[in-house]
Structures are given as structure tokens and as C-alpha cells.
């Protein structure tokens, strides 16, 4: 066991020392003033999570083992920092901070340690003792002000758009057919309409006055986007080919359109559109019979669009975007991953950004959501049953405040997993290496396979044609390893020290 741990730590340190700073990791020598280190901890806490490594030189100033300075060069600073961790961050987030000490031989050839401070996800918006608030952006910290702090509170769940009072105090614009269906579902036909709304958390009564919440407006107004002056529709774009054409002749199969109406009807109409394009898609011969070339199961699409509607951030002035291509469907939902949810834990963790909306939709007799916390697992399971690739959840730099789920319209080929695992272990893959691990002997065939992976957005090409190397599109091997170590596997690897 000791030998396994020693080998693991050696491998971990090698990867650590080859890495530069990014959104999830920062290196600092202990010579830095403690308040600068506190700023980084605040920034990581406000950007979900991160790793701060103390006692390691900057990537640009030294290489590999020459970066191992250790904390002995200024133990006083380290001692002061340890005290500041529980006093100089508002509110106190000590329970979300852990320290890990890793023994090293420093550049002076002496025994020393480096310290890794792991900042876990918390639902608090943190500031320094002076009231400054920071977030992590790329490889540095950025101070944010009131408007961004409010946005962050919506993202984190400290503020809920659905619970705020709308500027509408009349039931005249209600969708009576939908509301009647809801009353029938909850067996409340003989109860006063406003009382029903109050009982379901959609309205409140104060001093004999009724106040209707945004959740009511989104769920039961005929056209909530117009009356709320907020963008809360679904926009659908249907393309020829695998890419959007930005020329004078856009490659739309049909004119893009918007689905308005209350949230329940948005979901229903979007699923109806999906059924229509499945029927109209060109047939292909599959396993001896003709089937639709759009292979994505209706159940998976239904889960994806329902999730986008019930979990999006309605405080953001943007619509849900559905983009349909020949080889995939993209569903882009306004809002970052809520609270502690990440692409790595999305199958196992659960968090409701809009609990009132979720609960109300679930009370319809033919509810679009089961509200049993299994929608992501169900998507993965159904895609697997149909030999399709797992749903892909991602954010992009150009749109950091939205999440896109991509459903690939392609049967799964096992060698893609082999390629991914090889890249995670080695950092890249060449045509020769790909042939070695897949058993494919034809160089041109492997080229076609790798280029298809590039076109599908799975890989990126690095280098010239001869000797080309391929990497994962989201290539950050260290982050993959850190995610394992600090988001679940750390108790089996490192000795932890909770900050108190």
C-alpha cells in the first residue's frame, strides 16, 4: 500500500509541475502576502471550486522540480495565513476549505512540504474582510461589483427569480385552459383561484392584498415573456449539415421560430416539433430495416428540453436555444450549472434552481417531469441502450453563463472511448498510437476516423499533417486528475486537514 501511495504521489507531482495556472488551479510561493492568497481563495469559492498550491514557483519562472520551493522560505506567512482563513473571509466558509501537505525535497535539497488548499463548492457569495468580491477568470482573479454579484447570487441560489413578486396583480391574462387542467390534476376545482395559487407557493397575501410571484407568471400567463418583459421562450433553428453557415445563404431547413406560451406548453410544443422532424428525416437502412436517420430517442430529447426549462436561470435575459444539425442536437440553457453541480457529478448530484416551478409542473396529471432526481441518469441509460454516445454537458468561453447539452446523432463506436482514455493517460494521440490501441491497420482509415472525431467536436488537431497529434477538445488532463483527487477520491490518497 505504501508503495502504491508513493507511486501515485510521484505521478501526481509530475503532472502538477508540468502545469500552468488556469481557472481551477493557482501556484503561489509563500512569500506572497497572505491577503493576496485570501483573494484567490475567495475567487475560487465564488467560481465553484479550485486548488491553491503554496510553495511552488510560477510555471514561467522555473521548470519541473526547480519549481519546488516549499513553505519553509517563510513559515511566518504560512502561520498567519492559517489564522486568516477563518477570520478574513465573509461569511465564514471554513468547512469548505481543506489543507493537504505533500512532502518534497526542495530546490535546496532539503526536506520540505508544499501545501495544497482545496476550496470546495459552497452556496455562499464570499468577500474579503474589506468587502471586496472576486471571481476566478481564466488564470487570474477579477474583482466584481454589484451587478455581477447579483447575477452570481441568482446563479448560486441565494436569490430566486421565481420567488420575486411580478408586476402583475390581475388574473385576466391567465391561460384558463391550462389553469383548469392544473386544478383538475390537484382536485381543487371548488377552491378559490387565488387561494390555489397561494397554497402552491405561487402567490402571497399581505394585509388583504394579493401579490403574484414570477413563478405564477411563467407557469400560467398566456405569454409570460411579453408580460414579464423577460426573454423566456424557446427558439428553434433547424439546419442542413453539421455546421451553421454564416454566409449570405444560411443553411436553414426551415425558418427559425419561437415557442412562446406558458412553460408547460413550451415543453409540449418542443417535443411535438421533435416528433415531426423524426418522421420527416430521410430513412436509412439499419439492421435490415429502414429507420429514421435521426436516431436520438424521443425520451432523451424530452428529458433534455424539460430540464432546460425547469432548471434555467430566468433572471438572465435570454431564451433557450435548440439547434438541430444532421449529426447532433444542441440545447443551450441560460445560466451556469446551479450551485455545486458540475459535468463530473451531474449524474449523481441534485439541485433545484426553481423548486416551485418544478413542483407545480410535477403536479399536472400528465407531468413532463417526474421530479425524482433521475432525469440525467435516464438520459444516459436510454442513450446507452440505443448504442448512442453519452449526452455531453459543456459551457463555452464565449457564453460562460449558459450550459449546453449535446445529443450526438451517431451510433457509439467503442474505439472512441479507447482514444479518450489513451489521451487522458498520455496527453495526446497520434495516428500510429490510435492504430495500435484499436487494432485498425489502415492509416487512411484511421485518419478518417480521427478527422470525424475532430468534426464532431470530440478532438482537436495539433501540429502539421505529418506527425499530427490529437487532443481532447477540453484538454486539461491535470483538471481531470484534480477532479478525482479533490472531488471524491482524496480521502484514499491524501491526509486532509479541515480548516477551523
| H or E segment to which residue 176 belongs | helix 176-185
Answer yes or no: is 155 within a domain.
no
Q: What is the pLDDT of residues 353-400, one digit of tens each?
A: 899 999 999 999 988 876 545 678 889 999 988 889 889 998 876 666
Task: For the chain, 500 residues long, give each residue's pLDDT as a single digit of tens.
Answer: 455 545 556 777 888 888 888 888 999 999 878 888 999 999 999 987 889 999 999 888 998 889 999 999 999 999 898 889 889 999 999 889 998 888 999 999 999 999 999 998 777 899 999 999 999 988 899 999 999 999 888 888 888 999 999 988 888 899 999 999 999 999 888 888 989 999 999 999 888 888 899 999 999 999 999 888 889 999 999 999 998 887 778 899 999 999 999 999 999 999 999 999 999 998 887 666 788 899 999 999 999 999 999 999 999 999 999 999 999 999 999 998 876 777 777 877 778 889 999 999 999 998 887 654 567 888 999 998 888 988 999 887 666 689 999 999 988 776 787 888 888 878 889 988 888 888 788 888 888 888 888 887 778 888 766 568 888 875 444 455 455 444 444 333 344 444 43
What does each C-alpha distance from 133 to 148, 160, 185 come to in angstroms? 10, 20, 46
pLDDT score recorded for residue 477: 46
* Helix 431-438 with 443-455: angle, nearest 10 deg: 100
Q: Are residues 287 and 341 in the same domain?
A: yes
Cα separation, 45 vs 26, in Å, equals: 13
Q: Are residues 280 and 205 in the same domain?
A: no
User: Which letter does DSSP use for residue 391 in this model?
Assistant: P
Cα separation, 5 vs 385, in Å, equals: 38
383, 408, 433: which is the final residue of a domain?
Answer: 408
Cα separation, 433 vs 235, in Å, equals: 43
- CATH number, domain at 427? 1.10.10.10
pLDDT score recorded for residue 408: 93
374, 408, 442: which is the final residue of a domain?
Answer: 408
- CATH number, domain at 366? 3.30.565.60
Q: Are residues 262 and 342 in the same domain?
A: yes
Cα separation, 322 vs 478, in Å, equals: 32
Q: Are residues 389 and 240 in the same domain?
A: yes
The backbone torsions φ and ψ at residue 92, rounded to the nearest 5 degrees and listed phi first, read -70, 120
Find, among 51, 35, 26, 149, the residue nearest to 85 by Cα: 35
Answer yes or no: is 345 within a domain.
yes
Q: Are residues 386 and 314 in the same domain?
A: yes
Helix, strand or coil, per DSSP, at residue 103: strand
Q: Are residues 48 and 170 in the same domain?
A: no
Cα separation, 54 vs 25, in Å, equals: 11
pLDDT score recorded for residue 257: 95
Q: Are residues 318 and 373 in the same domain?
A: yes
- Number of domains making up the chain: 4
349, 375, 408: which is the final residue of a domain?
Answer: 408
Q: Are residues 169 and 199 in the same domain?
A: yes
Q: What is the pLDDT of residues 152-168, one digit of tens each?
A: 888 888 889 999 999 88
* Neighbour tally for 238: CB within 10 Å: 19
Q: Are residues 396 and 466 in the same domain?
A: no
Sign for the CA dihedral angle at 298, 300, 301, 303 comes to: positive
pLDDT score recorded for residue 209: 85
Answer yes or no: is 179 within a domain.
yes
pTM of full prediction above 0.85:
no
- Asked if 329 and 301 count as a contact pair (C-beta separation under 8 A), the reply is yes
Q: Are residues 218 and 257 in the same domain?
A: no
Cα separation, 219 vs 161, in Å, equals: 13
Cα separation, 162 vs 166, in Å, equals: 9
Helix, strand or coil, per DSSP, at residue 16: helix
- Asked if 242 and 287 count as a contact pair (C-beta separation under 8 A), the reply is no
Q: Are residues 353 and 253 in the same domain?
A: yes
Range of the domain at 465: 415-480
Q: Are residues 241 and 373 in the same domain?
A: yes
Torsion of CA 340, 346, 350, 351, to 10 degrees: 50
Answer yes or no: is 150 within a domain.
no
| H or E segment to which residue 480 belongs | helix 477-486
Name, in order, each residue with C-beta under 8 angstroms of 494's C-beta and a sequence gap of 6 or more: 100, 102, 116, 485
pLDDT score recorded for residue 361: 94
Amino acid at each position: 500500500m505504501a508503495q502504491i501511495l508513493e507511486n501515485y504521489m510521484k505521478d501526481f507531482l509530475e503532472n502538477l509541475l508540468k502545469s500552468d495556472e488556469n481557472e481551477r488551479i493557482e501556484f503561489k510561493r509563500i512569500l506572497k502576502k497572505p491577503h493576496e492568497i485570501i483573494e484567490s481563495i475567495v475567487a475560487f469559492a465564488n467560481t465553484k471550486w479550485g486548488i491553491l498550491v503554496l510553495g511552488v514557483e510560477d510555471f514561467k519562472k522555473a521548470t519541473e522540480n526547480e519549481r519546488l520551493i516549499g513553505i519553509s522560505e517563510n513559515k511566518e506567512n504560512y502561520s498567519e495565513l492559517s489564522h486568516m482563513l477563518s477570520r478574513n473571509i465573509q461569511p465564514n466558509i471554513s468547512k469548505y476549505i481543506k489543507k493537504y501537505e505533500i512532502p518534497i525535497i526542495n530546490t535546496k535539497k532539503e526536506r520540505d512540504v508544499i501545501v495544497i488548499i482545496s476550496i470546495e463548492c459552497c452556496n455562499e457569495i464570499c468577500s474579503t474582510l474589506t468587502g471586496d468580491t472576486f471571481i476566478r477568470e481564466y488564470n487570474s482573479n477579477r474583482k466584481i461589483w454589484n451587478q455581477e454579484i447579483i447575477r452570481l447570487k441568482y446563479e448560486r441560489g441565494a436569490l430566486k427569480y421565481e420567488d420575486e413578486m411580478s408586476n402583475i396583480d390581475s388574473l385576466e391574462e391567465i391561460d384558463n385552459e391550462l389553469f383548469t387542467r392544473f386544478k383538475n390534476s390537484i382536485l381543487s376545482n371548488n377552491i378559490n383561484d387565488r387561494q390555489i395559487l397561494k397554497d402552491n407557493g405561487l402567490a402571497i397575501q399581505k394585509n388583504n392584498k394579493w401579490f403574484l410571484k414570477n413563478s405564477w407568471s411563467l407557469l400560467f400567463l398566456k405569454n409570460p415573456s411579453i408580460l414579464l418583459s423577460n426573454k423566456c421562450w424557446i427558439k428553434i433553428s433547424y439546419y442542413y449539415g453539421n455546421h451553421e453557415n454564416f454566409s449570405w445563404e444560411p443553411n436553414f431547413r426551415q425558418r427559425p421560430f419561437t415557442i412562446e406560451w406558458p412553460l408547460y406548453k413550451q415543453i409540449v410544443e418542443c417535443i411535438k416539433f421533435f416528433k415531426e422532424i423524426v418522421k420527416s428525416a430521410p430513412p436509412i437502412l439499419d439492421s435490415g430495416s429502414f429507420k429514421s436517420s435521426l436516431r436520438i430517442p424521443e425520451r432523451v430529447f424530452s428529458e433534455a428540453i424539460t430540464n432546460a426549462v425547469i432548471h434555467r436561470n430566468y433572471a438572465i435575459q435570454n431564451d433557450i436555444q435548440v439547434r438541430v444539425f444532421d449529426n447532433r442536437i444542441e440545447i443551450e440553457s441560460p445560466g451556469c450549472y446551479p450551485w455545486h453541480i458540475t459535468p463530473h457529478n451531474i449524474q449523481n448530484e441534485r439541485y433545484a434552481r426553481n423548486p416551485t416551478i418544478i413542483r407545480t409542473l410535477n403536479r399536472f396529471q400528465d407531468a413532463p417531469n417526474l421530479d425524482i432526481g433521475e432525469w440525467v441518469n435516464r438520459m444516459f441509460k436510454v442513450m446507452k441502450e440505443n448504442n448512442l454516445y453519452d449526452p455531453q454537458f459543456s459551457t463555452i468561453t464565449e457564453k460562460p453563463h449558459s450550459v449546453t447539452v449535446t445529443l450526438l446523432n451517431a451510433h457509439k463506436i467503442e474505439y472512441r472511448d479507447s482514444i479518450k482514455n489513451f489521451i487522458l493517460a498520455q496527453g495526446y494521440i497520434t495516428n500510429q498510437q490510435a492504430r495500435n490501441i484499436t487494432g485498425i491497420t489502415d492509416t487512411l482509415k484511421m485518419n478518417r476516423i480521427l478527422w470525424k472525431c475532430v468534426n464532431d467536436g470530440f478532438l482537436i488537431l495539433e501540429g502539421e499533417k505529418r506527425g499530427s497529434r490529437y487532443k481532447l477538445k477540453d484538454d486539461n488532463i491535470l483538471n481531470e486528475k484534480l477532479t478525482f483527487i479533490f472531488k471524491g477520491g482524496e480521502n484514499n490518497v491524501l491526509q486532509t486537514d479541515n480548516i477551523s
